[in-house]
Amino acid sequence: MLKKISHICLIILTVFTALELGTRLTGIRPGYFESLRGFTEVDSLEVKNLFKLDELGIYSINTSLLDSLRKIDPTKHPTFIYQENVMQLYKEFETLVKSIDKIESPLANYRTTFKDSTDIYILETYLNNPINEEGFKSIPFSPIRSEKKKILLLGDSFTYGMSASPSYYSFADLLLSKGYLVYNTGITGTDPAQYEAILKKYMCKIEPDLIILNFCSANDFMTFPRKAKAEEPHEHQTNAGFILSAPLGKYLEVKDCYEFYKKFVSVPKGSFMYPFCKHSSGLSYCYGRLIIDGYIYHPQRTAYFHVRKNISTTQMALNTKPYIDNMNKIAANESIPFLNVIIPVKPESKFSRSNYNEYFIDTKSLAVCFRNYTYHFPKNLEVDDFEQDGTHFNNQGSKKYADFLDSLIIKTLVDK
């Protein structure tokens, strides 16, 4: 009997040891039961200034840091590299400039066709400084007298060109190589509140012939309405990661926001299991499964999901609609054509070449959000047009989307 008990104890100890080692190897630490993508607990919270926020609440790349970051090992700034890949972008453009006559690319080929000094100046300024003074991956935002059509692009990471490799194969750069003056205001992680603020600030300065909203159907439907404000960024840049500043719909200062996300993945200190979990990642993980499955009350998670469970896709579309209305009206008041273009995004499941229309485009939400406006979307995209994880266009997808926008531009401006 004693031997049997000893065997049982040995098995329990072995299983627990394996669980403890396994959870620690996967990043679970004592007192925590889950890892949030892009969030890490830190000993001392530091606010980064890799992006700037102007007086109107417009979020853009902080170009004043580029010289100092060039001298630093990029592995020491993983959030910066992950968020925008700016340093890699500069390296790729520097290589392009040094070998402009040898590299086969649309921009390099386009450069060889230039005769007008203004066109040469604009492109060479962009090639040497792909992030302009305002903090966008674009040609300078300045009034230009040219016969070329000026196109203002609004959007997020798709418009910025994430996953294009090299980065000058983004659809914005491909449009530039087609002979348009392309003003690209795409910034990763931003939303229609930012697009509206950009349009108000830069439309009259740029005087575009056409404005294109590149609406990302994956994340541009807004969970909560917000206004672009000078002191309220949509996300906080910290050494713990880039964290959304309004997890419950109300803006939180950086320290409060950090504490919210920290508690979100922690065993509550007031629980009876905390004294044990704070020493064991295995116990923390097991206790956390009960929390995640809803068997145990957790203050932050309960509040978080209580708020969100009542927000339907229709409500998110309604939250987004005022920004769409305002942008279309702003352009109409200046008699500037405005194209609402939907970027279809592959869900992690339910995707095949045969069910594109059903799963790529949420027509119900779009009908609410773009009521009274025509919207366009490409119908020829396939699995192979997205990067491996399905988040952004690869070079092939960028080319297809650029060709699609080009056809819309021609139809809107040339055939007008």
The domains located in the chain, with CATH, are: 51-226+327-414 (3.40.50.1110)
The percentage of the chain sitting over the pLDDT mark of 70, rounded to a whole number, equals 89
Answer whether residue 356 shows pLDDT above 50. no
Handedness of CA 15, 18, 24, 26 (dihedral sign): negative
- pLDDT of 99: 83
- pLDDT per residue over 78-132, tens digit each? 555 444 578 788 889 998 888 877 778 888 888 777 666 777 888 889 999 999 9
Tokens 């402009």: give the residue. Answer: 100
Q: DSSP secondary structure string, 97-145?
A: HHTTTT---HHHHHHTT---HHHHHHHHHHHH-SB-TTSSBSS--S---
Tokens 């996953």: give the residue. Answer: 163
- pLDDT of 65: 78
Task: Return the minimum-mean-pLDDT range out of 215-219, 242-246, 354-358, 410-414.
Answer: 354-358
Q: DSSP secondary structure string, 176-215?
A: HHTT-EEEE---TT--HHHHHHHHHHHHHHH--SEEEEEE
Name the token pair of 264.
């979100």
Closest listed residue to residue 377, CA positions, set 355, 356, 394, 350: 356
Name the token pair of 400.
């297809």
- pLDDT per residue over 358-398, tens digit each? 445 678 899 999 999 999 989 888 878 888 766 789 999 99
